[in-house]
Structure formats: structure tokens, C-alpha cells
Amino acid sequence: MLTRLKQKVQQALTVEAKAAHRIGLTPSRISGIGIILAFLSAIAYWAYGTWQTQKLYILLATVLLLLSGFCDALDGVLARLYQETTAFGGFLDSLLDRYADAAVYAGIIVGGLCNPFWGLTALVGSLLVSYARARAEAGGIKTESVGLAERAERIIILAAASIAAVFWQPTTAMNVGIILIAILSNLTVFQRGLYVYGRLKKKSGN
């Protein structure tokens, strides 16, 4: 859904990509930094949910989550700008994104910041959105921008819920965000399934 906006954001990141290149950062290194930030975000969510001390943990988790998303956008810009795009690089980036997603949702679930059922539903839906795209592309069908909740949308929803949690009742705010992600991500899987079915049916001429 936000793919077109993401493309514009990536174009705007050229200056940052050039700066990263000057200091010796490669797409793979930026992807590595992104996954580390995602794991730190997960730990921060877990820390608040476990000890229920200061909401600063949630704010920290949000900042780390957004920085991880920034790295996810920057590594692609850097790879294209300096012709460092490779098949394995794309595979590694996608794989690390799935680990990042799983870690963040696990941190929220284990920390008790959301209902476990909805947390697991959001986690499964998020992973299946990417799996549906991978399977579709293996069959020669592009599904990027198909569906309501791609990774960018899910990060925005989770960040918004986390910010609300800082000023509101944390578990209530996080539950709202997680339930929304659970519904929209699984709806996206359904949308992609219908899209692929339609394209394959059209190809077969039936």
C-alpha cells in the first residue's frame, strides 16, 4: 500500500546513502545494523512488559524500531546507487527482515504487552505476507504494493501504538495496534492470494 511512498522516500535517501558509502558501510552491513536494532527493540519491549518500570523502555523500543526500518530502506538505496545489488543480497535482506519482525513481536508477546493470541496471529500474518510474495514471485507474479499491510504499514502501526502506549495505558494501546496488524496482515495474505489466483487464471486462459 505504501510502496509508492516508499519509493519516494528511497529517492530522498540518496544523500544518506552516499554518506554511508563514504564511511565504508555496505548494504550487508547496514542490514546487519538493522537486525541488531530490531533485536534491541524487542528487548526493550520485553523489559517494560516484564518489569513494568518506566515507559521510557517503550519509547526506546519505538525509536529502535524506526531506526531498524530506516536501515531497511537505506540498504536498498545504497545497493542500487552503487550497483551492489545481488540475488544473495536481496535474499539476505528479506531473511533478516523476517527475523526482525519475529523478534519484535516475540518481545511484545513475551513481555505481556499484548494478548498472546492476537500477538501470535499478527506474527503469523506478518510472516505469511512475505511468504505469499516470495511464492508469487517464484511463479513470475509481482505482488509488491498488493495488500493493505506490507512491512512499512506494519511498522508505522506498531510505532503509532507504541507512542500511544507512552501516554496511555500501555497494554491497551499495544493490544489495539497488535489486533489491527493481525487483521490487516492476514487480510493482505488473502488479497495476495486472490490476486495471484486471478493472474494465473488469466495466464491459463480459463
Q: E-strand spans in the chain?
A: none
State the pTM of this model.
0.86
Tell me the HSE value of 12 on the side-chain side, using a 13 A CA sphere.
7
Check if 93 is active-site.
no
Burial per residue of 192-205, b for 16 or more beta-carbon CB atoms within 10 angstroms, e otherwise = bbebbeebeeeeee
Q: Which of 180, 59, 66 is nearest to 114 (CA)?
A: 180
**Strand, helix or coil for residue 50:** helix
- DSSP 8-state code for residue 158: H
pLDDT tens profile 160-196: 999 999 888 888 999 999 999 999 999 999 999 999 9
- Of 75, 93, 97, 101, which residue is the catalytic one? 97
pLDDT tens profile 23-57: 877 888 888 999 999 999 999 999 887 766 678 89
Q: Hey, what domains does the chain have and what are their CATH numbers?
A: 3-204 (1.20.120.1760)
pLDDT tens profile 67-108: 998 888 888 788 777 776 777 777 888 888 899 999 999 999
